[in-house]
Structure 1
Amino acid sequence: MANVEVTLKEIMAGIEGALGAAVVDYTSGMALGTLGGGKDLDLNVAAAGNTDVIRAKVRTMEHLGLKGEVEDILITLSHQYHVIRLIAGRGGNGLFLYLVLDKARSNLAMARHQLKRLEEQLEV
């Protein structure tokens, strides 16, 4: 089991091309922890904005009558990947991991696999 700080450090050190990561409460839009980012990547602003993305997707699924749960959401930009992974189990309800990757330096499939593994170890 790993706490928020340890998980964020493992994301940044262990996922090739990671530019920033956050653990976010999507009921409030507040980041519980962030690591990385910078002047061009404000992770607190991104946390709040991506909260709206999750809420919209869940609402759309309800309107369509779709069953199941969102595992992750991928947003592809010209130079970056933004991965939103909802945290399941062990009190993770209402939380998500947010990861920003440099598109040229990352392997998206491996990053998603590693993020899933780290999500399973996270203890909030």
Structure 2
Amino acid sequence: MAAVEVALKEALQIAGATAAAVVDHTSGMALATAGGTRDFDVAVAAAANTDLLRAKLRAKEMLGLSDGIEDILVTLDTQYHLIRPVTGRTGRGLFIYLVLNKQTANLAMARHRLRLIEQAMEL
């Protein structure tokens, strides 16, 4: 679990990051969370976003697309929500969920850094 904790710590170092989680998309349960506020429960948000990833995986299958999902971006008025499936052999079935403050985040840099974190994460 230390690798997951390190990945979350690194994710929260991304400019504008306010919350992060590593989530099992089959169960919707967060393996670990970091950040969040009293008004924003990152574990609940991560579980809810599991449905978004599942829907995208179903749509990809229905369309016969063979491409993998690099990431999913949800843009809100004040936040970006990034969902990045873990592609490493030991992380299949997991995704990293990252919440960014839209005013202080650099989306391109956040996506780049999250890709590096995901690729380095080992379980």
TM-score by length of 1: 0.95
Q: Secondary structure at the match of 2:68?
A: coil
Correspondence list, 1:21-36, <5 A: 21-36=20-35
List runs of 5+ in structure 2 lacking aligned partners: none
- Tell me, in whole angstroms, the C-alpha distance in 1 between the residues paired with 2:99 and 2:91: 20
- Tell me, in whole angstroms, the C-alpha distance in 2 between the residues paired with 1:11 and 1:64: 32
List runs of 5+ in structure 1 lacking aligned partners: none
| 2:50 partner amino acid | T
The CA deviation at 1:42 is 0.7
- Tell me, in whole angstroms, the C-alpha distance in 2 between the residues paired with 1:89 and 1:35: 21
1:101 partnered with 2:100: yes
Q: Which moved more, 1:24-33 or 1:62-71?
A: 62-71
The CA deviation at 1:90 is 2.9
| 2:31 partner amino acid | L
Q: Which residue of 2 aligns with 1:7?
A: 7
RMSD: 1.0
1:75 partnered with 2:37: no
Q: Secondary structure at the match of 2:52?
A: helix
Q: Which residue of 1 aligns with 2:113?
A: 114
The CA deviation at 1:66 is 1.3
The CA deviation at 1:117 is 0.4
Q: Secondary structure at the match of 1:68?
A: coil
Which stretches of structure 1, 4 residues or longer, exceed 6 Å deviation after superposition?
none
Is the Cα–Cα contact under 8 Å of residues 21 and 42 in structure 2 kept in the other structure? yes
Is the Cα–Cα contact under 8 Å of residues 88 and 122 in structure 2 kept in the other structure? no
TM-score by length of 2: 0.96
Percent of matched pairs sharing the same residue: 60
- Tell me, in whole angstroms, the C-alpha distance in 2 between the residues paired with 1:50 and 1:85: 11
Q: Secondary structure at the match of 2:100?
A: strand
The CA deviation at 1:67 is 1.4
The CA deviation at 1:69 is 1.1
Give aligned pairs, total: 122
